[in-house]
Amino acid sequence: MASFIVTGGTGFLGRRVVQGILDNEPDATVHILVRAESLTKFDALATQWRGSERVVPLVGDLTADGLGLTEPAPPAEHIIHLGAVYDMTADEDTAHAANVRGTNSVLALAQQLDAVLHHVSSVAVAGDHRGRFFEEDFDLGQQLTSPYHRTKFAAEKMVRESRDVRWRVYRPAIVVGDSRTGEMDKIDGPYYFFPAIASLGGLPAELPIPLPDLGATNVVPVDYVASAMVELVRRPGLDGRTFHLVNPRPQPFGEIYGALATAAGAPAGVGLLPGSRRALSGLSHLPGVPTVRDFLLERLGIPAAVAPHVSFSAEFVSDSTRALLRGLTVPEFDSYAGRLWEYWRTNLDPDRHRPASSEETFTGRIVLITGASSGIGLATAHAVARRGATVLMVARGRAELEAAAEAVRADGGDAHAYSCDITDADAVDALVATVLADHGGVDYLVNNAGRSIRRSVLNSTDRMHDFERTMAVNYFGAVRLILALLPSMRERRFGHIVNISSIAVQTKVPRFAAYVASKSALDNFSEIAAVENRDAGITFTSVRMPLVRTPMIAPTDLYRSLPVPDPAQAAAIVVRALADRPDRIDTPVGTFAQAVELLMPSVKRTIMHQGYRMFGESKAASGATLRPEGPGAATADQLAEPARSPLTVLSPVLLPLMALPGPAARMARVVPGLHW
């Protein structure tokens, strides 16, 4: 009964090699080196192997002395050494610990057990060699320009020079996903270039794009490499030989790009720019050019250490290997490029959580709304739930919040209630931890919870707490929630945050100093945060909301005379902010106020002062009690239709300015600077 020890058996290639051994050696036992802290993960993985009862963990560590084995190694006829650092961006020490010291320990174990060592090297050992590189070639004086190249060369050198161990060496080219399923486990090699190709997907397919001549590469699907290895491992009489697991024909970059561009719906290349490779090489020696090049690569998400090594100056000859593997051929790249692309787009694309454009529906999206138990928040919850969103409703009062969530569910929506006081840092941290555990992430955040105080500065000289309370809810509460969600949004590379600001930020209406200061602070914070997180796909919208008929404005009799929108109309503005993700949404009256302030500042101040003198403090600001039904409640009379007052005669003028944008306002959005 054959016995195998495998290092790197839980890796992307290793998992398939182990399955191949189990399928083709029905009596074999496979011992897989695994770290003690990874045993739980290993147990879960082992259940995916057919014949998993013959897979046994061997606790150890590739980078530790003697492989860190706490128990004597079991007898084995074969040791398949797949474990290594395959990361081009790894530093010298990290690469050396796994690739060199690890291989040395595996050699010692192979000698101790008198096992055949199957060492997985890489075509990277060819370095900068130009021309044909045969399977028996090794040290031809080539330069090795990265820690990965140097350590893989050193590891293979140790194996080749071993006198007491029977060995075989396998040199795969650049390994990509499974040609049958497209599956890949991480972004590596040519996958770093996928986002750049995806960004071209919005261009007309007929647009001609000349491509720089970057030479040729060599990629092979993981299923071919695994199948070839299993066949060669099992075949007797091959000790002391090296096998090139490569595409027998070098693949020009234009060919690779063309296959991926077809899958991405991007324009096809129209040929190579002659001399571009030589020109790029020459430019790289000029002062400052490498810095600019590395910066541009970073902006494209391509590590500077990877870009020089995706093409090869060597042509890898694999005649002997292919002769042994008759019946097993490397599939053409264009035959499986579409599957690679689709798997990447669905599972690995860093921007996969971002909507392609304006979203008509929110199916599958997670929307978190604060202040969701009443008013604009509740109306927005109903609106986005009807469009397919999963709504996370947050408010302080648990009973009222549960009733609001039940109302959304009764309307056919998917709503979840989370009671939280956003002025409490610990409560916000607990809220975000629970939400991420329950739902995996938040796509949209609506900072709707707010506190408004209408009181003049003169009447606030002994009420510092008014300013502290508005800042606690309107600014610090919203910022606290943004900061708590920001890391997960950056990890998902998408998030949109809608802040319900106020028209008062633009009009700067008297008696709202505390309120306007807090909303202005949030607006300015968000503008800066949006700039800093733009590359991560995180965007902000500030909705300079007009007055809305909610409990917040009920204490002020004056506002009962104004033709203000109701919560459902305000929710429509919020939905537009979520769907279109503009920087801000204003109203015509807000834009007009800003224009007057810019062009005629003294006139505006005079008008505002006269308004301040004409309309006095509200009853609430004077100390009257207007909430007999409990905190936050307003009477039915206070929320009734607007009463007659001197302002009522202005309704025909104010209504078009205070109401939601209509067709005329939508047409006005084409004017730069207008966000109605």
Task: Indicate the range of 109-118, 559-568, 655-664 predicted with least confidence.
Answer: 655-664
Bridge partner list, 116: 78
Residue 243 in domain: yes
Catalytic status, residue 515: yes
> For 435-490, how does the pLDDT look when each residue is reduced to its tens digit (9 = 90+)?
999 999 999 999 999 888 888 888 778 888 888 999 999 999 999 999 999 999 99
Same structural domain for residues 400 and 286?
Answer: no
Residue 165 in this model has a pLDDT that exceeds 90: yes
- 298 occurs within a structural domain: yes
pTM for this entry: 0.70
Query: For the chain, what is the domain count?
Result: 2
Q: Does residue 545 have a pLDDT over 80? A: yes
Across 581-608, average pLDDT: 82
Domain with residue 327: its CATH number is: 3.40.50.720
Is 516 domain-assigned?
A: yes
Q: Does 533 fall in a domain?
A: yes
Query: Rounded to the nearest 10 degrees, what angle do helices 102-113 and 147-161 cross at?
Result: 20
Q: What is the pLDDT of residue 555?
A: 59
The answer to whether residues 281 and 425 belong to one domain is no
% of the chain surpassing 70 pLDDT: 84
Query: Are both 203 and 337 inside the same structural domain?
Result: yes
Q: Mean of the per-residue pLDDT values for the chain?
A: 86
Of 313, 348, 383, the one marking the end of a domain is 348
Q: Is residue 395 part of a domain?
A: yes
Statement to judge: residues 306 and 373 lie in one domain: no
Domain boundary among 293, 315, 348: 348
Q: From CA 427, how far away is CA 19, in angstroms rounded? A: 48
Neighbours of 119 (CB within 10 A): 26
The Cα 113–Cα 408 span in angstroms is 67
Pair (138, 181) in one structural domain: yes
Same domain, yes or no: 168 and 230: yes
| pLDDT grade for 637, boundaries at 50, 70 and 90 | very low
Encode 232-266: b = buried (16+ Cβ within 10 Å), e = exposed. Answer: bbeeeebeebbbbbbbeebbbbbbbbbbbbebbeb
- Among the residue ranges 19-28, 433-442, 443-452, 601-610, the one predicted with the least confidence is 601-610
Query: Can you tell me the distance from the alpha carbon of 172 to that of 328, in angstroms, rounded to the nearest whole number?
Result: 15
Same domain, 344 and 371: no
Domain for residue 151, yes or no? yes
Is residue 604 domain-resident?
yes
Judgement on whether residues 386 and 478 belong to the same structural domain of the protein: yes
Residues 244 and 386 in one domain: no
What is each CA distance from 214 to 144, 149, 272, 275, 596, in whole angstroms?
19, 20, 9, 10, 57
Residues 485, 516, single domain; the answer is yes
Q: Are residues 290 and 223 in the same domain?
A: yes
pLDDT for 632: 38
353 lies in some domain? no
Over residues 232-239, mean pLDDT: 97
Within 8 A by CB and 6+ apart from 106, the residues are 7, 62, 67, 79, 81, 83, 117, 119
- Which has the higher per-residue pLDDT, 425 or 283? 425
Average pLDDT over every residue of 205-220: 82
Whether the CB-CB separation of 497 and 367 falls below 8 Å is answered with: no
Range of the domain at 408: 366-647
Mean pLDDT along residues 230-259: 95
Whether 534 and 576 map to the same domain: the answer is: yes
Catalytic residue among 170, 257, 515, 559: 515
Residue 120 and residue 170 in contact, taking contact as beta carbons nearer than 8 Å: yes
What integer pLDDT is reported at residue 309 of this predicted model? Answer: 73
- As a whole number, mean pLDDT of residues 482-503 equals 95
Q: What are the residues whose beta carbons fall under 8 Å from the beta carbon of 159, sequence distance 6 or more? A: 103, 107, 117, 119, 121, 165, 167, 169
